Amino acid sequence: MITIRQLAQWKESGEKFTMLTAYDYTMAALVAKAGIPVALVGDSLGQVVLGYSSTLPVTMEDMIHHTRAVVRGAAGCLVVTDMPFMSYQVSVEDAVRNAGRLMKEGGAHAVKLEGGADMVPVIQAIVRADIPVMAHIGLCPQAVHQCGYRTQAVDAAGRKQLLADARAVEKAGAFAVVIEKTEHAAAREVTRVLKIPTIGCGSGPYCDGQVLVTYDVLGLFQDFTPCFVKRYAQLGDAAMTALTAFAADVRAGKFPEAKRGQGKQNKK
């Protein structure tokens, strides 16, 4: 079972590690079998699973529902669940209660939330309730209407802000921090300075770990692909080929064949 202590040890020893998103049992089981130590139930499920145009409409109920499925599949992984938009911004009390629900009702092992220095009281209160917090700085998709999706920390002021945010979330008690879509040199400096592990998402090669959206890695989500993503498979195209072949077979009377399903049940 991967723990937050293990991530700290990897930081100490300089061993790079991975995190991938999972939103359901089947994908979580694949992520775990592939040896990915951290499964993130990301609120990116709003786009790739629920078809919204941003993460903003995702609810606590959505996150609890999907976390339960991931926990059943991701054997041995550290399961981290995103706190959805407006589940932690209104009050510290709200934030602790909602983080608690993700752990108690969803079965998550840790929560992730977006924001830097502004989130210090929230992170402190959640950690005080013995709930491990992964922070998320740089590009924060929940702030899309305020900040857009552009690269962060591109000038001196931005780099200073990123470093201040990173130091603040570490001091507040976060056990790791995602750095999304920043200048690579800025992420490298944060990684050098912090004692907790940094996990890069489009922030270059110098972070302690790397995270991507699994549906992007597999080429399953085709509406858009962030520029920093590398596709390791084209499963969307493979699925299209298979699904159109099935439909053609049925139309042509080739499926099901007369004997299919008449014998013994297929083994797993």
**Binding of residue 4 to ligand KIV (CB under 6 A):** no
**Binding of residue 42 to ligand KIV (CB under 6 A):** yes
Peptide bond into 57 cis (omega under 30): no
Give the x-and-dash track for 114-153 against ligand KIV (CB under 6 A).
----------------------------------------
The smaller minimum CB distance to ligand KIV, of residues 62 and 180, is found at 180
**Which of these ranges, 35-43, 62-70, 117-125, 189-197, lies near ligand KIV under the rule CB under 6 A?**
35-43
**Binding of residue 44 to ligand KIV (CB under 6 A):** yes
Rounded-to-integer distance, Cα 63 and Cα 135, Å = 17
Give the x-and-dash track for 166-195 against ligand KIV (CB under 6 A).
------------x-x---------------
The set of residues, in sequence order, having a beta carbon less than 8 Å from that of 154 and lying 6+ positions away, is 183
Binding ligand KIV (rule: CB under 6 A), the pick from 133, 211, 218, 220 is: 211
Q: What are the CA-CA distances from residue 202 to residues 105, 171, 199, 205 (Å)?
A: 32, 24, 10, 9
Closest CA to 177 of 166, 192, 163: 166
Rounded-to-integer distance, Cα 126 and Cα 105, Å = 16
Rounded-to-integer distance, Cα 185 and Cα 141, Å = 21
The smaller minimum CB distance to ligand KIV, of residues 108 and 178, is found at 178
**Binding of residue 201 to ligand KIV (CB under 6 A):** yes
The smaller minimum CB distance to ligand KIV, of residues 181 and 253, is found at 181
Instruction: Quickly count: other Cβ atoms within 10 Å of residue 195's Cβ.
Output: 8
Closest CA to 203 of 227, 170, 225: 227
Question: Residue 45 in contact with residue 23, Cβ under 8 Å?
Answer: yes
Size of residue set near ligand KIV by CB under 6 A: 11
The set of residues, in sequence order, having a beta carbon less than 8 Å from that of 236 and lying 6+ positions away, is 218, 219, 220, 221, 222
Asked about 180 being catalytic, the answer comes back as yes
- At its nearest, how many Å lie between ligand KIV and the CB of residue 258? 46
**Binding of residue 62 to ligand KIV (CB under 6 A):** no
- At its nearest, how many Å lie between ligand KIV and the CB of residue 199? 8
**Which of these ranges, 23-31, 42-50, 124-132, 190-198, lies near ligand KIV under the rule CB under 6 A?**
42-50
**Binding of residue 43 to ligand KIV (CB under 6 A):** yes
- At its nearest, how many Å lie between ligand KIV and the CB of residue 213? 5
Catalytic, out of 180, 183, 189, 257: 180
**C-alpha torsion sign, points 102, 174, 17, 191:** positive
Tell me how many degrees the CA angle 171-178-95 measures, rounded to the nearest 5: 65
Closest CA to 33 of 75, 80, 69, 64: 75
Residues involved in catalysis: 180
Binding stretches for ligand KIV (CB under 6 A): 21, 40, 42-44, 82, 178, 180, 201, 211, 213
